[in-house]
Amino acid sequence: MKKELLIASALVSTLGVASVANAVTATMSGNHNTGLVGKDTDATSDSDVVSQSVQSSFSVSLSETTDGGIGIATSFMLANEAVNTGLSTAGLTLTFTDGSKLDVINGGNAAKTHDISVPGGAGEAGVSLTTENRAQTDLDFFGEATPIGFEWHSASDFMADGLKVSASISADDGAAADGSVELESSWGLGATYVTSAGDTAVTIGTGLASSEWKDNAQEPSNGSNGFHIGFSAVTGDLTVAAGYASGDKVSTTPEVEIQDNTVSKIGVKYVAGDVTLSVGFTSAEGDDNTTLGAAGGSDDSQDITEAGVSYAVASGVTANLGWKDIDAKNDGSNDTTGGSSWYVGASMSF
């Protein structure tokens, strides 16, 4: 029996060494946010509500480099309990010796890669608007892509100092359109330019994309398409950023075309030691129509004002205090699901 145990131990040890020697490099990251959210909607009745807010995520990144110097990487999520998001699994990213990259399988859309991040609030403050209000509030609301696609990223200083560009394309995955429309194909272009003006670092980002859709009865008269442009200026601890986007959006369920969308964003952030102060404003409008192009009435709109204070308590631990107000209209009439919200909580990340 002792002999068998020694053999088994030697075998396990050998297999363990072999698996380590042949393993790719794996890194883990994640975060856990917990706090309280207070909400007061514009409904006529008393609508003050305080509840707990919890969002957690845990992801794993895998990477290795070939003997020829080409990097191969992918990632997957084990958990993602954040609001309005689900688990995401990356395809493969190939990094070449000249610094360029190629995302293959679920490559994404190049327009979204180059949108500017505009400061806003802190934490998870917000109210849930009615689904009939379809005004888009993100700069990259357009530019969907199927898993059968790739995105190419240039190296830094592509054709000019401070310039990076990306291009993407995706093809039909064969899924049939039944109760909702299905994405058929897409393409996207994007660019980011970084320069300086005295002591100020300036970043300009822009993107252009178009996505075609199919329907079981009739194709939408317009697909998702549009462009965005924005800038960020950083002087010491102060950041000022703004962005603008315009285009059309296809909502998959129910089948609605949201046309003539415009989004304008501006935000300011100031870092004072361990404390970060931020404010932001977003103005968004969208005309929602059916897939057959019938008139959808007046525009839906959202005017969002937000502010936040974040304090770095310890490494990986941040305390957040946030406030947000949403003035919303649905088809030109006051949307009573709009209102104000506050948040107080903490974020722990690794």
Query: Residues 6 or more apart from 321 whose CB is under 8 A from it?
Result: 122, 123, 308, 309, 310, 342, 343, 344
Query: Residues 6 or more apart from 16 whose CB is under 8 A from it?
Result: none
Question: What's residue 200's pLDDT?
Answer: 95
On whether the CB atoms of residues 326 and 294 are closer than 8 A, the answer is: no
- Residue 46 pLDDT greater than 80, yes or no: no
On whether the CB atoms of residues 75 and 93 are closer than 8 A, the answer is: no
SS3 state of residue 16: helix
CATH superfamily, domain at 29-349: Porin (2.40.160.10)
Q: What is the pLDDT of residues 158-187, one digit of tens each?
A: 999 999 999 999 998 888 777 678 888 999
Which of the two residues, 272 and 287, has the higher pLDDT score? 272
pTM listed for this prediction: 0.83
Confidence at 85, pLDDT banded by 50, 70, 90: low
| Rounded distance between C-alpha atoms, residue 41 and residue 338, angstroms | 5
Confidence at 12, pLDDT banded by 50, 70, 90: very low
- Residue 9 pLDDT greater than 50, yes or no: no
On whether the CB atoms of residues 253 and 277 are closer than 8 A, the answer is: no
What average pLDDT does this structure show over 60-79? 91
In the numeric block, which tokens belong to residue 188?
């996207």
